[in-house]
Amino acid sequence: MSLGLRQRGFGYLGLLFFVAITAAALAALGQSWSTAAQRERERELEFRGGEIARAIASYIRASPAQPGQNPRSLDDLLIDRRGVKTLHHLRRAYADPFTGKPDWVLVSEPGQSQGFTAVHSRSERELLRSLSPEGLPLKTARDWLFDAKGQTLQATQRPSPEPQPTPP
């Protein structure tokens, strides 16, 4: 056999190694991009949820009735016509960064039949961060409750709108 025939497979083998290394690099880049996008959604969730919580607190403070009246919907935060002057506590109806829609879950305090004082996401997507800014453990986006009192609560600490029946 001549020398040229024995060396022909090395070019093909080199090309296979190049394709394998390129595929591994692209997979790592895709994973990095996915993680960066997830972190950005979490930052947006924190910002938007905080803005809504601040708007709820502003709505309650601006209430002409004593004690403060809670908003009944997100639209109440956008345009507040309860007083002489129309107020805008929230610039716009922020979309939930995980669902892409302004479909926040509105949470009432125990014993309150009207209005809400907190919001949280509908998404069951797991978070990369494991703690809220207050140090409370978080697992999913739904666990992150944004309260008008300026605190972030864990899902187990959420006020439930209705008392839970006790099993017999």
Distances (CA, A) of 14 to 6, 28, 110: 15, 21, 68
Using the CB atoms, write b or e for 29-40: b if 16+ within 10 Å: eeeeeeeeebee
Using the CB atoms, write b or e for 62-82: b if 16+ within 10 Å: ebeeeeebbbeebebbbebee
Task: Count the alpha carbons within 13 Å of 122 in the hemisphere toward its beta carbon.
Answer: 10
Distances (CA, A) of 129 to 113, 125, 141: 34, 12, 10
What is the per-residue pLDDT across 72-82, written as a single tens digit (0 to 9) for each? Answer: 999 999 999 88
Q: How far apart are CA 168 and CA 158, in angstroms?
A: 25
What is the per-residue pLDDT across 131-150, written as a single tens digit (0 to 9) for each? Answer: 777 677 888 889 888 998 86
* Other beta carbons within 10 Å of 166: 5
Instruction: Give pLDDT, residue 153.
Output: 47
Min mean pLDDT across 18-22, 143-147, 156-160 is at 156-160
